[in-house]
Structure 1
Amino acid sequence: MTMHHRHHLLAIAAACVLAACSTTAEKSQPASTSTAEPAAATSTASSATVNLAPASGSLVSGKLNMMPMDDGVHITGQVGGLGAGQTHAIHVHETGDCSAADASSAGGHFNPTGNEHGRAGTPVHHAGDMDNIVANAEGVADINIHLAGVSLGGGAANDIAGRAVIVHAAPDDYTSQPAGNAGARVACGIITPAP
């Protein structure tokens, strides 16, 4: 075997090895791309406030503060003008519009995934579903709620910025469709991110 033949064989072997590597890389590249899940939407606002004003002829009002935290948004604040010791539903609604006297302009519950209504923390519920609040003897409810699975700002499908928070006259039964048989809307406020 001459030196020329050896170089020729080495060149062919090297080409085969390179071709095998590039074929493997090409085959593995699309597989890793197609199985990657989209990144979860994160909040872009550092905080937001909700000034709840009376609706449906009630005297219910209050102020809520919201902050992104862990897998959602944490809500604190107070709601006053409620009946002493009474339980009330509270939800995020889809439209940031409290202009109607009965707050019907806020639309239905915020529900970007099209789920049935249910209790927060269970497998099936609206993104805007929250546990009931309970007023003390003075008719004031202290709010300390973690709303999981939503973001604050950024415009993602689960973004609650600019939407409305509604307090209802009755408690949410967590089962009746589409809104838990929670009764009239007695307060409404828009989720307003901090500038």
Structure 2
Amino acid sequence: NNRLKAIAAININGTERTVGTIRLTSVQVNYINVNSTDKISQNNCVRLRGEIRELTPGLHGFHVHEFGNFSDGCQSTGPHFNPLNKDHGARVSEIRHVGDLGNINASADGVANVDLIDCKIKLKGVNSIVGRALVVHTEEDDLGKGTFEDSKTTGHSGSRIACGLITRRSEAQ
């Protein structure tokens, strides 16, 4: 199995209390173009799977931030990872930061189950997110569609409540 793998332990902002783990794996995605019968294959997509606990119920912005620096908790992780200098957007939008992963949804018991595939983030190369931070925000990400001053930069998703360093992982992890 030569798929690339990474992992992020998610901690409450400014603490070492782990509230979740997200496993990242490179995957190939096959899909059919709706405008033709062409089968399209995209290599190097990334699947994120895991859960994050102790959240308030509802939607929370979920992003890759530029720096794997936690000297001031989640605050020192910098802005969303945006090497192409685009406006903020939804995970499915063409115009978006590489690090824009949309929202995760915490249930009534405060648990967000994460299982998504994204083809802009990578585990190697120019858009690699290894060594960067995975961050959970207090509020729902408006996906760049809101009218707030920060909609086009942060999705107006509020404070950073939990974060973790994305690191390479072995088969055993």
Alignment TM class, shorter chain as reference: 0.7 to 0.9
| Equivalences for residues 1-195 of structure 1 within 5 A | 46-55=4-13, 61-70=19-28, 71=43, 72-84=45-57, 86-101=58-73, 103-153=74-124, 156-175=125-144, 176-195=151-170
Larger Rg: 1
Secondary structure of the equivalent of 2:102? Answer: coil
Rounded to whole Å, the distance in 2 between the matches of 1:94 and 1:158 is: 11
Task: Give the Å deviation of 1:111.
Answer: 0.7
Q: Deviations over 1:83-122 (max 9, x none)?
A: 13x1101000111112213x12100001111111011111
* Greater per-residue helix proportion: 1
Query: Once the two structures are aligned, what percentage of the paired residues are identical?
Result: 33
Q: TM-score normalized by structure 1?
A: 0.70
Give every structure 1 segment of 4 or more consecutive aligned residues whose post-TM-superposition deviation is greater than 6 Å: none
Query: Which string of whole-angstrom CA distances, capped at 9 and with x for unpartnered residues, describes residues 1-41 of structure 1?
Result: xxxxxxxxxxxxxxxxxxxxxxxxxxxxxxxxxxxxxxxxx
CA distance in 1, matches of 2:26, 2:139: 28
TM-score (normalizing by structure 2):
0.79
- The alpha-carbon deviation at position 60 of structure 1 amounts to 7.7
Provide structure 2 residue ranges, at least 5 long, that are not aligned to the other structure.
29-42, 145-150
Count, aligned residues? 147
Taking only aligned residues, the RMSD between alpha carbons, in angstroms, comes to: 1.8
Distance 1:112 1:96 in 2: 15
Structure 1 residues 168, 56: CA separation in 2 closer, same or farther (over 3 Å shift)?
farther
Using the alignment, how far apart are the partners of 2:3 and 2:167 within structure 1? 10
- Report deviation, 1:45: 6.6
Give the gaps of 5 or more residues in structure 1: 1-43
Q: Aligned equivalents of 1:180 and 1:60: distance in 2? A: 25
